[in-house]
Amino acid sequence: MAQIFKAKKKPLKQQTLTLNITAMDHQGRGVAKHNNKVCFVSGALINEQVTARLIEDKAKYSSAKLIKVIKPSDARKAPFCQHYNQCGGCQLQHQEINQQVLDKQNAVTQLFKKFAKLSDLNWQPPLLSKPIHYRRSARIAVMYDKAAKKMRVGYRASGSKNVISIEKCDVLSEAFSDVFSIFETLINQHKALHSISHLQLCQNEAGNYIVIRHTKAINDEAKSYIQTAANAQKWLITWQDSSDVIEQAHLPTPYYFLDKFNLKFEFGLGNFIQVNDEVNQAMLAQSVNWLNLQKNEQVLDLFCGIGNFSLVLAQYAKSVIGVEGVASAVAMATQNAHTNSITNAHFHCFDLTQKIETAQWFNKSLEVLVLDPSRTGAMAVLKQLPLKQFKTILYVSCDPVTLARDSAIISQAGFELTKIGLMNMFPHTGHIETMALFQRR
């Protein structure tokens, strides 16, 4: 049998470095130089001098763990969360909120220079929300801790798969302030509940929902302990087994309402909705303002989900075609159009990696393109679309790297980036959401 030789990794030299932080990257890490390479330091801020321990040394970059801040930034502040140093949920609580936004904006600017060869971006005022209790949905992990010999309910530890127990989470809706302690207590008291693997929380106008995911059957007696505690908190409970089916027929249909547009959006508990309601409402208002649609214009909304953008834009355009790859989301989008008496928006389930020009819903009279893809971006779609038939493209991004990469494709097709704006959907984290408007030259 042939044996494949694998070179042994050289053990990393334990080094303590003194570093000067000159920038922040798009993940909220401090950037310094060490041995003529970029060195990323989580927890460090621009203009700080720090000591850090080298934890990774690659050919083109290195990473270091912050040990001590020698010279602090004026933007440094004490984190408000007691779990901040262990929890992997937030990365920027040690930084003043306005500086977080500025550094995110600067990081996006650098990515556009690198990938799209675009500079002097026309930045618009950022969309902001309250800095705490902004999350209306979240996924809570449940895992057995062998060392502690107990079940833990909380979030993943920073840089680890382990779960740390959380007492309270100040970025989560206050409706779920006791969810961690109540569930950790109940699960540890009743062995029948040990097959629970995570909790999916969703606060909306219909109520405060908890989907309890479990890997093995749970008897009715054990479920009743959860139900009693949930009733006291006015939580609406449903169970999801390994079949991935969420039973919610016994519960009111979840929905959110857009006040400015007088629109009601119903959704299934397995459907995607924006985590931050305040920023979502501002984002939709901004899209209307930037697009300035005319009543004779036809819109193509790709990755449309349950119709979040489509139904808003349908109030201003001649027609909207929404396309989405998830069948349940398309069904909800169609239902939402009916609920809101919108007749000029039509939805289609289609795999957007397939050839679009042959799709029955595609036509050459579509003039405005709206893109709201996942973190993987829209490159596959952009490469096959006849982009020159559109006069305007609105790109809503949840990953600045793929946005900058895709913007190069749009720019090369003859479009000018006329507006760009940050949407701080996730304060205190490294996540960056951006809206970009392109006009055909």
Do 359 and 417 reside in the same domain of the chain?
yes
Do 233 and 199 reside in the same domain of the chain?
yes
CA 254/CA 203 separation, integer angstroms: 9
CA 380/CA 369 separation, integer angstroms: 15
Q: What is the pLDDT of residue 7?
A: 52
Do 235 and 263 reside in the same domain of the chain?
no
Do 274 and 333 reside in the same domain of the chain?
yes
Please report whether residue 2 resides in a domain: no
Do 305 and 418 reside in the same domain of the chain?
yes
Kindly report the number of other CB atoms within 10 A of residue 160's CB atom.
10
Do 317 and 403 reside in the same domain of the chain?
yes
What is the extent of the structural domain holding 144?
137-240
Give 331-339 contacts, CB < 8 A, sequence gap 24+: 332/266, 332/267, 332/268, 332/271, 332/306, 332/307, 333/304, 333/305, 333/306, 333/307, 335/266, 336/263, 336/264, 336/265, 336/266, 336/306, 336/307, 336/311, 337/307, 337/310, 337/311, 339/264, 339/266
Q: What is the pLDDT of residue 203?
A: 98
Check which CATH number belongs to the domain holding 226 and give it: 2.40.50.1070
Do 292 and 413 reside in the same domain of the chain?
yes
Do 262 and 219 reside in the same domain of the chain?
no
> 240, 272, 287: which is the final residue of a domain?
240
Please report whether residue 206 resides in a domain: yes
CA 75/CA 69 separation, integer angstroms: 13
Predicted model pTM: 0.95
Please report whether residue 211 resides in a domain: yes
Structure tokens at 126: 């950022």
Please report whether residue 84 resides in a domain: no
Of residues 39, 90, 202, 398, which has the active-site annotation? 398
Please report whether residue 379 resides in a domain: yes
Please report whether residue 279 resides in a domain: yes
Q: Where are the beta strands (DSSP E) in 234-338?
A: 235-240, 255-258, 263-266, 298-302, 319-324
Residue 199, judged by CB atoms within 10 A of its CB (0-12, 13-18, 19+), counts as: buried
Check which CATH number belongs to the domain holding 48 and give it: 2.40.50.140
Q: What are phi and psi of 48, to 5 degrees?
A: -100, 155
CA 120/CA 116 separation, integer angstroms: 12
Do 274 and 332 reside in the same domain of the chain?
yes
Count of alpha carbons within 13 angstroms of residue 255, beta-carbon side: 16
Structurally, the chain folds into a number of domains equal to 3
> 202, 218, 240: which is the final residue of a domain?
240
Please report whether residue 83 resides in a domain: no
Do 221 and 341 reside in the same domain of the chain?
no
> 214, 240, 266: which is the final residue of a domain?
240
Each of the 441 residues of the chain gets a pLDDT tens digit; together they read: 445 555 555 667 778 999 999 999 999 999 999 999 999 999 999 999 999 999 999 999 999 999 999 999 999 999 999 999 999 999 999 999 999 999 999 999 999 999 999 999 999 999 999 999 999 999 999 999 999 999 999 999 998 999 999 999 999 999 999 999 999 999 999 999 999 999 999 999 999 999 999 999 999 999 999 999 999 999 999 999 988 789 888 999 999 999 999 999 999 999 999 999 999 999 999 999 999 999 999 999 999 999 999 999 999 999 999 999 999 999 999 999 999 999 999 999 999 988 887 799 999 999 999 999 999 999 999 999 999 999 999 999 999 999 999 999 999 999 999 999 999 999 999 999 999 999 999
Please report whether residue 103 resides in a domain: no
Do 185 and 159 reside in the same domain of the chain?
yes
Based on the residue annotation, tell me whether 398 is a catalytic residue of this protein. Answer: yes
Do 233 and 312 reside in the same domain of the chain?
no
